[in-house]
Structure 1
Amino acid sequence: MMTPEKSARNAFHLMTGQPPEICVRAPGRVNLIGEHTDYNDGFVLPCAIGRETVVAASRRSDQTVRVIAADFGDVQDQFAIDQTIEALPGSAWQNYVRGMVKIMRDAGHGIGGTDIAISGNIPLGSGLSSSASLEVALGTMMQHLWVLPGLDPAQIALLGQKAENDFVGCQCGIMDQMISAAGQAGHALAIDCRSLALSPVPIPDDLAIIIAQSGITHDNVGGHYNDRRRQCEEAARMLDVAALRDADMPMLEAKRGQMDDVVYRRARHIVTENQRTFDMARALAEADIQAMSMLMAESHSSMRDDFEITVPGIDRLAEIMQRAAGKYGGARMTGGGFGGAAVALVRADQAEAVCASVREHYTTPAGTPPEIMVEKAAAGASLCP
């Protein structure tokens, strides 16, 4: 199978007849715990994965950005950077490119005309952050291609988040872009989404990360994601805190009688999920697999019952993985919800048994076997070697 780098290079040559000046990769991610806490200024614990987006690019002498998407039948887009950059209708891949270019130029970064080819192997709509990976790959590529001083991984991540919030229209938090930009091989990254403090947490060598695709795709630009954010903001206003990161269960219980039940349950998920994220980082550091298993199960239940972002297929998939892992690991839904993937952390010698159980007991809505990935934590964005 052709690698994303080879595919991007081939598409670039198809479009331009020349090899690219530069090639950059940025990984997808899986979140081990801490779901929807990021835009509540809370805490998350993701790791980068081996699946990635690659962009190949060269400078142009004019003010045109020309893009080819190898994974969409070599479809091309073109726009001028010295004119108003507008979004195309819907949430097409082109808008992530247009958004990053616009946001970076608005921030004063000296980007000129650029030819870009894109390819990746992150399943779309899978909860593994293909969009953030693309944004970070584009930002990192522009940094190197146009020699933009002062841009570090955190700043690139913030530019990607702003592009997604303000141009694409999904009010996501910072987690996805930050882990894609700043991930460390062999480590999860505990991220304080308010201060952007990063704390690497080693993942024990004898643990495997298993990601199983439900075959149920989601779209974060849709109303569900933004609705959850509005409900969390309403809860924070009622609790008189800047964000739900500042709330605790006694505060929430004291206001329960004044809250709509849905808003209360949304807040309860965030407050308890923040605590679970702290506890999970400690369990990982101590290689306490029983604590990890319990925390992942509690997180899934909270997402299902309080935040209401799982769907029956995802519930079944997580249950199959947990049952197969037994006392040797834990499983939960990962990502924004309403489809996507389930993740399991299991003892490495049990990984094949978990994968076999998923293949035996789960079929996607299309009637096909689920895609299963066994991963190790990967490094963040970088130039292709």
Structure 2
Amino acid sequence: MSSDDTEPRDRGCTDGGVESVDALGDTDEAPRDRVVRVFEREFETAPTTLARAPGRVNLIGGHVDYNGGIVLPAAIDRQTVVAARPRTDDTVRVHSVREDETITASVGSDCDGWSAYVVGTATTLSEDVGEPLGADLAVDGDVIVGAGVSSSAALEVAVAGALDAVHHCDRTREQLADACWRAENEEVGMACGIMDQFASALGQPGHALRIDCRSRDVQPVGFDDAAADILVIDTTVSHELVDSGFNERVRECHEATARLDELLGKRVRTLRDVTPAEVTTHADDLPEPLAARARHVTTEIERVREAADALADGRVDRVGELIRESHRSLRDDYEVSCEELDTVVETLDDCSGSAGARMVGGGWGGSVVALVDPAARETVADTVREEYRAATGIDCEVYTVDFGGGLSVESV
């Protein structure tokens, strides 16, 4: 992908410096206050419940969650906020502040665009509890759409939390995350793994989460924010993963799994069951690109294991090295990067004070995550901004994130 055939998102850009989360809202009004006000305006009554769910950044573990692997994401301090009031029928009325649009649909109906995530979540959660969960909803927030920080999971998890609360379903955070994951797969058509929804629902402040996507074991891993800042560099290049090569990569992994199941003489349920050495041994028996896809997944799982241990030990430099290796693998073996992402990563690799950087999210656009020395943060941000603009003609956005908490619900 070149900058000539890429449409940047219409978001504007910073004038300089690194933005904090608080500086990035569309107005000075907090999303919580705005969504309550809009709810009252649209539905002529007050909401009873407010649910918030964060986006996430995945430090390492790209494209391994749907292969039963291990990932290392963290919830971030950018959230989707949902105001809700229960209905006694099977109707979902939802107003999006971002889209300035109201959709009315029945639980179980097919929807397109942003509303598919809302109605789809209502559908799967209703199936779980055995009754239709109708509600009036208003949605707002500051999770950037299309930037690879999982705005879709934040929306799903916030909606699920709101519906669960107003109907007193008493589902656990894990059960809500599972319903949201199924909604994205079954209702939206995105063959993703569980990482995004689990990170959004279960995030802990100041911690990354080591998530085993097969067993669903979740272990918090402390992050020393004095050792490194987390920068997210939004290329402002959009990607639509359902229509991109994402599902094709899932299919290729399934094909590689089936071939290796035959070749290895052992049960191979997913590429999680294969070692990098086994892929190397049988690389000539796997047609391309299957060998490359399997090589990425199996080596990436090993990188995640080492990175989680290194992060827990405070060895930020080693985490950074593994993150760099991850990007090269995603670029060369998995082929989900693009010119804009590579430009940012290469710039960061050459920056003093940058420990490591890689593309984050599904790929073909979106963002880069970087571990940066706090003392060098402003210099690194300025350098990336200038060099990216010179190379692509596009303005990027650079902002810091903290590791925040997961889903929260309160009465209004």
TM over 0.5: yes
Any idea what the Cα deviations from partners look like across 1:66-121, whole Å, max 9, x if unmatched?
11010012x1111233xxx32234xx001111101111112235444311000121
Q: Is the 8 A contact 1:11 1:69 kept in 2?
A: no
Matched, 1:181 2:207: no
How far 1:368 sits from its partner (Å)? 5.2
Query: What is the aligned length?
Result: 377
Name which of 216, 224, 240 aligns with 2:237: 216
Change (3 A) 1:337 1:13: same
Q: Is the 8 A contact 2:54 2:154 kept in 1?
A: yes
Return the letter of the residue paired with 1:141: A
Matched, 1:160 2:180: yes
Return the letter of the residue paired with 1:44: V
Matched, 1:237 2:258: yes
Matched, 1:271 2:298: yes
SS at match of 1:107: helix
Q: Distance in 2 between the 1:325 and 1:195 partners?
A: 39
Q: Is the 8 A contact 2:190 2:242 kept in 1?
A: yes
Q: Is the 8 A contact 2:61 2:71 kept in 1?
A: yes
Any idea what the Cα deviations from partners look like across 1:96-150, whole Å, max 9, x if unmatched?
111011111122354443110001211111100000001100111111111113x
Change (3 A) 1:289 1:5: same
Q: Is the 8 A contact 1:45 1:189 kept in 2?
A: yes
Q: Distance in 2 between the 1:337 and 1:158 partners?
A: 23
Q: Distance in 2 between the 1:321 and 1:7 partners?
A: 37
- 2:75 corresponding residue in structure 1: 48
Query: How do 1:18-167 residues align onto structure 2 when only pairs under 5 Å count?
Result: 18-73=45-100, 75-81=101-107, 85-89=108-112, 92-149=113-170, 151-167=171-187
Matched, 1:357 2:378: no
SS at match of 2:245: helix
Q: Distance in 2 between the 1:364 and 1:177 partners?
A: 36
Any idea what the Cα deviations from partners look like across 1:200-246, whole Å, max 9, x if unmatched?
11111212110010011111211401000111111111111100011
Q: Is the 8 A contact 1:188 1:202 kept in 2?
A: yes
How far 1:292 sits from its partner (Å)? 1.6
Q: Is the 8 A contact 2:147 2:367 kept in 1?
A: yes
Percent identical among aligned pairs is 38
Q: Distance in 2 between the 1:28 and 1:307 partners?
A: 24
Q: Distance in 1 between the 2:293 and 2:126 partners?
A: 37
Return the letter of the residue paired with 1:274: I
- 1:260 corresponding residue in structure 2: 287
Q: Distance in 2 between the 1:300 and 1:119 partners?
A: 32
Name which of 26, 30, 37 aligns with 1:10: 37
- 1:334 corresponding residue in structure 2: 360
- 1:369 corresponding residue in structure 2: 395
Return the letter of the residue paired with 2:109: E
- So what's the TM-score if we normalise by structure 2? 0.88
Q: Is the 8 A contact 2:111 2:119 kept in 1?
A: no
Query: How do 1:292-311 residues align onto structure 2 when only pairs under 5 Å count?
Result: 292-311=319-338
Name which of 373, 380, 395 aligns with 1:347: 373
Return the letter of the residue paired with 1:29: R
Name which of 316, 320, 344 aligns with 2:347: 320
Q: Is the 8 A contact 1:55 1:138 kept in 2?
A: yes
- After the TM superposition, list the runs of 4 or more consecutive aligned residues in structure 1 that deviate by more than 6 angstroms: none
SS at match of 1:65: strand
Q: Is the 8 A contact 1:109 1:148 kept in 2?
A: no
Name which of 189, 192, 206 aligns with 2:212: 192
SS at match of 2:336: coil
Q: Is the 8 A contact 2:54 2:79 kept in 1?
A: yes
Q: Distance in 2 between the 1:267 and 1:364 partners?
A: 36
Q: Is the 8 A contact 1:67 1:117 kept in 2?
A: yes
Question: In terms of mean alpha carbon deviation, does 349-358 or 163-172 score higher?
Answer: 349-358
- So what's the TM-score if we normalise by structure 1? 0.94
Structure 1: state its 5+ residue gaps.
none
Return the letter of the residue paired with 1:86: S
Q: Is the 8 A contact 1:39 1:174 kept in 2?
A: yes
- 2:7 corresponding residue in structure 1: none
Return the letter of the residue paired with 2:40: H
Structure 2: state its 5+ residue gaps.
1-26, 262-267
Change (3 A) 1:158 1:299: same
- 2:191 corresponding residue in structure 1: 171
How far 1:283 sits from its partner (Å)? 1.5
What CA RMSD, in Å, does the superposition of the two structures yield over aligned residues? Answer: 1.7
